[in-house]
Amino acid sequence: MEQPKLSVILLSGELEKLQAGCLVSSVASMSGMEVNVFVTMEALKAFRKDVISAREFKTAGEVGREMLNKNVDLFYQLLENAKDMGNLKVYGCAMAMDLMEWKKEDLIDIFDDVIGVTAFLGKAAGSQVIVM
């Protein structure tokens, strides 16, 4: 029997949506699912080293502000843990990277590759897809 697959597309830069998408991804991965995460559009900025070190995340409301005020594992830490303990891959969007003139080195060291949508759709084939 084939391993169940989940593909998560992170496109919002809001902390709450990033957190929810990464939490679902990490739990799925640690539960035995193969998980592919595609980070694109505004979500990509939140994975920049400078944004993470400054904790300059866009929040939608009270829950996001409390996540920053309290010592909780944030979205990128959830993915790091899942990569260590499960079958999870993270991909950056080549088009958004080109558009913003960012390099892979500008991002935290969590990305397996920078790929286009066509390549990601190939990896996502046969999986349940969630867009955040």
Going from N- to C-terminal start, the domains of the chain cover 5-131
* CATH code of the domain made up of 5-131: 3.40.1260.10
Handedness of CA 98, 20, 6, 81 (dihedral sign): positive
Where do we find the tokens 């697959």?
5
Structure pTM? 0.96
Q: What is the pLDDT of residues 62-97, one digit of tens each?
A: 999 999 999 899 999 999 999 999 999 999 999 999
Q: What is the pLDDT of residues 46-58, one digit of tens each?
A: 999 999 999 999 9
